[in-house]
Structure 1
Amino acid sequence: MSDQWHQGLRHVRGAELSGDTGQTGGMTRLEAISGKTVGSGKVWMGETHVAPATNSGDHHHGEAETAIYVKSGHPVFVFADGDDEVRLETSPGDYVFVPPYVPHREENPGDEPAVVIIARSSQEGIVVNLPSLWPDRA
């Protein structure tokens, strides 16, 4: 029996992740769970990879809340707090919450790739690339 309350589970294998989603320079974003891939209506999930000694471009994720789990590496999450630049240095097993519309970037100062798992409160992979963490100064 299949209806809106009794749908089957969907399985997306790690090798099936798609790069056909919003991208930001300096990182590779891969989509796993979305409206496009499994028909989800309220959640987007995937992962990002940042090569060693690389920074992503500055960006935000619109109205979506973003939850991040650090799978490997030691990425640094950078955002603006007024005129101050705040740096969150992370390790595998850490979590980071990014509120809607907060400009940020990921940096990987280490010598190994940084991989993070991402879940968003939208089935869209919303990515708004910015010229600066301070959009009003760009």
Structure 2
Amino acid sequence: MTSCQKIRPGATAYAGKQGFDYVEGISRESMGSRAICMMLLTIPPGGRAHAHKHATHETAIYVLSGVTMMAWGDRLENVMEIAAGEMLYIPADMPHLPWNPGPEPAVAVIARTDPHEQESVVLLPDLESLVA
């Protein structure tokens, strides 16, 4: 039987396949979640992820502070800016590559329909050079 649980972010961090360090929050490993994970991400100024997608899992992001950019699409042909106070939805299997162009760190809450979080990450090295 599961019960309600709380966690204070910051206790545990891990290096994601995408190239960023995440603060573990809610996941199968930390809480026994069966269908969702939620974590904190701080992207330092100049930080850039590897091109990737999350196989069969959707992602929702709320930017708490800072500004990020994200290239997305089959060939990363689209680019958008996401700033503090904005939310972003990334469909399952959507190639994307986020980065922080700004002078300040960008902090976001990320939720995904993958309770293991890193299990669905698929790196797309052939797309890396498409984003300068």
Give the TM-score band, short-chain normalised: 0.7 to 0.9
1:35 alignment counterpart: 28
Pick the aligned partner of 1:62 from 55, 59, 77: 55
Q: Which has the larger radius of gyration?
A: 1
Paired residue secondary structure (1:132): helix
Instruction: Give the percent of matched residue pairs that are identical in Structure 1 and Structure 2.
Output: 33
TM value normalised by structure 2: 0.85
Instruction: Provide the C-alpha distance between the structure 1 equivalents of 2:53 and 2:76, rounded to a whole number of angstroms.
Output: 17
Instruction: Provide the C-alpha distance between the structure 1 equivalents of 2:93 and 2:73, rounded to a whole number of angstroms.
Output: 12
Paired residue secondary structure (1:16): coil
Instruction: Provide the C-alpha distance between the structure 2 equivalents of 1:68 and 1:34, rounded to a whole number of angstroms.
Output: 16
TM value normalised by structure 1: 0.82
| 1:51 and 2:44 matched | yes
Gaps (5+ residues) in structure 1? none
Gaps (5+ residues) in structure 2? none
1:129 alignment counterpart: 123
2:18 alignment counterpart: 24
Q: How many equivalent residue pairs?
A: 126
2:88 alignment counterpart: 96
Deviations 1:96-131 (A, max 9, x none): 100011110111000011111111112121322211
Q: Is the 8 A contact 2:10 2:24 kept in 1?
A: no
CA 1:115–1:108: 2 relative to 1, 3 Å: same
Q: Is the 8 A contact 2:76 2:97 kept in 1?
A: no
When the two chains are superposed, the root-mean-square deviation of aligned CA atoms in Å is 1.9
CA 1:124–1:111: 2 relative to 1, 3 Å: same
